[in-house]
Amino acid sequence: MGCCQSLCSDEHQPLGKDGAQPPQVTQNHRGGATTADNGGIGGGGAGGVAGGGIPSFSEFSFSDLKAATNNFSSDNIVSESGEKAPNLVYKGRLQNRRWIAVKKFTKMAWPDPKQFAEEAWGVGKFRHNRLANLIGYCCDGDERLLVAEFMPNDTLAKHLFHWENQTIEWAMRLRVGYYIAEALDYCSTEGRPLYHDLNAYRVLFDEDGDPRLSCFGLMKNSRDGKSYSTNLAYTPPEYLRNGRVTPESVTYSFGTVLLDLLSGKHIPPSHALDMIRGKNIILLMDSHLEGKFSTEEATVVVELASQCLQYEPRERPNTKDLVATLAPLQTKSDVPSYVMLGIKKHDEAPSTPQRPLSPLGEACSRMDLTAIHQILLSFQEWTQQMKDMLDARKRGDQAFREKDFKTAIDCYSQFIDVGTMVSPTVFGRRSLCYLLCDQPDAALRDAMQAQCVYPDWPTAFYMQSVALAKLNMNTDAADMLNEASQLEEKRQRGGGK
């Protein structure tokens, strides 16, 4: 039921539970494979394995990812180093409206497609609500790409080092450390203890503001390439000696992240350790916190960071120790992360109907007001409305001649309501004007009036969907989008005349 009525009166290849090996990789891959949209980001309680909201791991076609990223446009690059990054990461959107992150490698990084696919499948079997999960890969020809859940609220590095409105409060910093420790412990427990190049850029924030560990770090940047791209001052000492990453190396890197959280700066571990040994903990702490932190809690975190940064790998704590140390420090578990970050919560975009949308429907689903304006200016939209009105008059005349008076009443009523009393066109256009002037309440009222005048006009429902989405009523917005597409489908079949 529309707002006016209530107010006025893919195919994919799933990974088996046994972690089955991927299908044989060839140079000629099937096209058009996409993941199914199973809803929002999944996940049970804190620390639980993510549920059915995350798509099954799949092989994507290159054409799908090309379309999703607007032909890998530079405008879609979300890598911290921009176009200078060795392996670019792009933001994209699939046909099922799911946002994704796409990491693009060169063929030289992974010359063997079979090895790349096997590595990707090894990571793709993991599902956890502390990870930005890997949902697919592409191995078409020379292309090597990974596809992950997209996290809309930037990185820890952005919030710690390049913040604009407010720094991260102390309780949120403790939550970041705890959640990432949980992610590392999950991976270690599930048999993948190595994480490559852990740093503040690998910690991402989801639509709720919760920190997640990027799945991209669970795979090397290349078959034989370096595992650490950071400055040598932040690299585990044993890696400098033998070039190998070990579980203890990951703990060392986690210690550098703890230093970032404590200081709000990316300072070399050797400098931080000098301050710790000199008991200059206050000098180590981020001055932007303005003293708003617990000295006892800070001392615990400083001690844990010091243990993680021990020169001898065997002296460092394991992932379970990390979780056990940080768990008791979580004192604001009832406060949502987005509140502590000082950001607006990202609601899931309205779900797209299963049937294809018209150009107007597509524009409304993504709230593209400029595109809606162009479409509502188009001659075809309004001539179709006039044609419907004249067809109603003709059908009324024909029914009158045939003494089908009930049908005649219906047809003449449609003609009168649409043609001579009030024009829904005016309401539709004014609704868009209100949206463009940031007045969604008024826009919704006009869209509802347009529906009252012309109950089967898809545009009225589309405009309601945009206004509702602007008012953060996303479930209702999705319902309106579905109703509009159903009305369009009915019209195309000839049932709306």
Distance between CA 51 and CA 230 in Å, rounded? 34
CB-count burial class (<10 Å; 0-12, 13-18, 19+) for 403? exposed
3 state SS of 14: coil
Distance between CA 465 and CA 470 in Å, rounded? 9
Q: Which of 64, 185, 197, 479 is catalytic?
A: 197
Distance between CA 395 and CA 411 in Å, rounded? 6
Query: Which tokens is 462 given?
Result: 């589309």
197 assigned to active site: yes
- Provide Rg for the chain, Cα atoms: 28
Phi, psi dihedral angles at 475 (to 5 degrees):
-65, -45
3-state percent breakdown (helix, strand, coil) of the chain, nearest 5: 50, 5, 40
- Alpha-carbon dihedral angle through residues 224, 227, 229, 233, given to the nearest 10 degrees: -130
- CA neighbor of 29 nearest in space, from 71, 57, 60, 56: 60
The amino acid sitting at 82 is G
Query: Which tokens is 344 given?
Result: 């607006």
β 131-132/99-105 pair status: unpaired
Distance between CA 258 and CA 425 in Å, rounded? 59
CB-count burial class (<10 Å; 0-12, 13-18, 19+) for 9? exposed
Distance between CA 452 and CA 435 in Å, rounded? 19
144 Cβ contact partners less than 8 Å away, ≥ 6 residues apart: 104, 105, 106, 107, 109, 110, 113, 116, 138
Looking at the DSSP bridge assignments, the partners of residue 144 are 105
Query: Which tokens is 89 given?
Result: 């990461």
Sheet containing strand 203-205, edge to edge, reads 131-132, 211-214, 203-205
Distance between CA 337 and CA 342 in Å, rounded? 9
The amino acid sitting at 443 is A
β 144-149/58-59 pair status: unpaired
53 Cβ contact partners less than 8 Å away, ≥ 6 residues apart: 38, 39, 40, 41, 42, 43
**Terminal CA-to-CA distance of the chain, rounded, Å?**
20
- Report, as residue numbers or ranges, the catalytic residues: 197
